[in-house]
Structure 1
């Protein structure tokens, strides 16, 4: 996994973060396999797998809470950038990189923003970044409220029929789930790239809901006092 400076800079505007997008990404059911990623001053990962496993369960402490999600075993953690105010983790298919990918799963956290924006407000901010990148081929569809572990959450799909990345035109689409925690805001995103389209891309609601299902069960919880990784109280908490 690569660790380096975050590629998306955060600037506070009117009390909310404004995301300066890099074009790398426009923002940017339990199984027998468990990947425990405990990020802080360093990266520590434990992985248990079975030959038939198709997904890992990842348990990530981010600021005041622990985020639990799943991802395909065909993906790898490729980029991680923790900072005092923002956390970023990117996963791509094993034969790809953060600079050349067809799909990317992004986990992010924003410290102390839970009281400053609703999940829908924050999703609108992210969608605005997409629209700025491709005003003539922008598409968006709200998927609605999607509570996560008792926390308010909102899901939406955004897309660009055409935007330029490293001199080439590509189509980019993304489903996002924005979660409001006790103190912080979190996002779980799954983006795809493909051949460019002249106009706004069609959004297949069922297909994007299926991607959210592939990341589920999503959970966000506060670990028990003194509890250590892998945070069993969060792993066993109903989503």
Structure 2
């Protein structure tokens, strides 16, 4: 009588997947976001936090007047604003979506291009926000624009063949036309855009006032990630057979 094969040696210890299976660069990004937030929440005082938001948050008014050598925040604020958050719900919501969509993007691009996409998409979403609110003294903070860029980038490959997990990062890059030809990808993009357009006209979600949501940064980040993804996806992954 032949013993049926079980696919491995039963006496060898089975490999267990770690409870948190995120790329190191995503874990590092989450650690930095929470470290900055906890520092502001529990260590720094109100006046100091206000000064930090003004110095490191993005303000459209800085670009509507001649750049002054006395205020150099216009140099770094298009990037540093993405590391600041205004409350627990703000950072937790961004952290969840960063883990979901940042993970496949990081696995595909690697840590260097992942961080390069972070920096460029932060600037792109900030200036898209500035174009729609030019000259305003509003302070923009949060990683939502960057997270939206990772969502847009992920749409170019995670829905190929309907396989989102666990090997979605190996899928072929879809053209813009192919994304909208795929029912799942098309539905995701349309639902995401409609949700942000509803915020734009004043509809609030999950108890958060629409006036406090920078939908312009979301849209700007998503469009940047979706359209500019081929510039970062310089290596062609092996094609999955569906």
Give the TM-score taking structure 2 as reference length: 0.26
Larger-Rg structure: 2
Higher strand share: 1
Higher helix share: 2
